[in-house]
């Protein structure tokens, strides 16, 4: 009998860095966001895309199912499992803390305005939470002409605003972009996708 082949492929290993983009276009059913040849969102297909800028330590891409186990009194192991909640998220810490246009997305209750000699984000009294499409895009480590994408179709920043200021370290604002469902999309494609170009 022959041996079973092992699956050691360094071409399937990913290392950063990548970039986070807000307000990319929501892809159609079975589609993906359109990228330019350098891996940035194509400007024609994604005219509202905005780069999040630099982060302190990159990003953490999350998909977590919340599985409920159903049991029978006659069995010692679960007999049915069901996914009752899914969490898709992108987390990290952004360090371009003085960008008021980014703060407008990071602070759920913020309203940005500008005037002669200032730009500001006012806070307080808003009950609506802004949502946006978000994508993490990184070149594939083994072939930088290809790209890995983690795309959330409809997200909000659950982390709010929390910034430490110190002489000893750079200011950073945590972000926790969480997915919301787009229920009009097909089951299995209501929150986001993970893909790579080949």
- Tell me the domain boundaries of the chain: 16-188
Tokens 């083994």 belong to residue: 142
Confidence (pLDDT) at 66:
96
pTM score, whole prediction: 0.91
Q: What share of the chain is helix, strand, coil (3-state, %, to 5)?
A: 5, 45, 50
Q: Of 99, 106, 10, 113, nearest to 54 (Cα)?
A: 99
Q: Of 51, 52, 11, nearest to 145 (Cα)?
A: 11
Mean pLDDT along residues 128-145: 94
Assess whether pLDDT exceeds 90 at residue 104: no
Assess whether pLDDT exceeds 90 at residue 16: no
Confidence (pLDDT) at 156:
95
How far is Cα 194 from Cα 135, in angstroms, rounded to an integer? 10
Mean pLDDT along residues 132-143: 96
């Amino acid at each position: 009998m022959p041996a079973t082949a092992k699956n050691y492929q360094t071409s399937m290993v990913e290392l950063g860095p990548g970039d986070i983009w807000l307000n990319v276009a929501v892809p159609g059913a079975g589609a993906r966001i359109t990228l330019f040849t350098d891996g940035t969102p194509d400007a024609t297909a994604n005219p509202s895309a905005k780069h999040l800028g630099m982060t302190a330590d990159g990003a953490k891409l999350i998909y977590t199912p919340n599985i409920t186990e159903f049991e029978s009194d006659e069995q010692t192991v679960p007999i049915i499992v069901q996914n009752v909640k899914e969490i898709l998220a992108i987390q990290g810490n952004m360090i371009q803390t003085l960008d008021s246009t980014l703060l407008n997305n990071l602070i759920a209750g913020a309203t940005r305005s500008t005037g002669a000699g200032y730009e500001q984000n006012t806070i307080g009294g808003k009950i609506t939470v802004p949502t946006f499409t978000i994508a993490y895009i990184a070149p594939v480590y083994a072939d930088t002409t290809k790209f890995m994408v983690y795309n959330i179709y409809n997200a909000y920043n659950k982390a709010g605003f929390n910034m430490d200021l110190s002489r000893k370290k750079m200011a950073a604002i945590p972000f926790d972009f969480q997915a919301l469902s787009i229920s009009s999309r097909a089951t299995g494609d209501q929150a986001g996708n993970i893909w790579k170009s080949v």
